[in-house]
Amino acid sequence: MNKEIIDRDTYKSIKKMNREELTKFILKYGDELLEQQGVKTTLDLTVLEERLSKINGIGNKRLNEIMTVIENFLDE
């Protein structure tokens, strides 16, 4: 018994995607599946920043640079 995972329209749109578009689609689709299973996929940036600030040797300037990189990565 084969269960249809994606519909025909989605399949056609996937065939037309380049590598970058396909990667974003797969990551988004995977996140949606995890959320359906009750797995938390969001990242609390304030908690992350707080924990990074406790690392010896990371000052405010470096912490701000790291957080900017992380935020830009998440926006992609």
Mark whether 37 and 3 lie in a shared domain: yes
**Residue, of 17 and 74, whose pLDDT is higher:** 17
Which two three-digit tokens encode residue 51? 């924990």
DSSP result, 5-61: -S-HHHHHHHHT--HHHHHHHHHHHHHHHHHHTT------HHHHHHHHHTSTT--HH
pLDDT digits (tens, 9 = 90+) for 7-64: 889 889 999 999 989 988 888 888 787 777 777 667 778 888 999 999 999 999 999 9
- Which residues are CB-contacts of 31 (< 8 A; sequence separation ≥ 6)? 41
Mark whether 49 and 29 lie in a shared domain: no
HSE value, Cβ hemisphere, 13 Å, CA-based, for 12:
3
| Domain membership of residue 51 as a residue range | 45-75
Mark whether 37 and 51 lie in a shared domain: no
Mark whether 32 and 54 lie in a shared domain: no
Give me the number of domains the chain comprises: 2
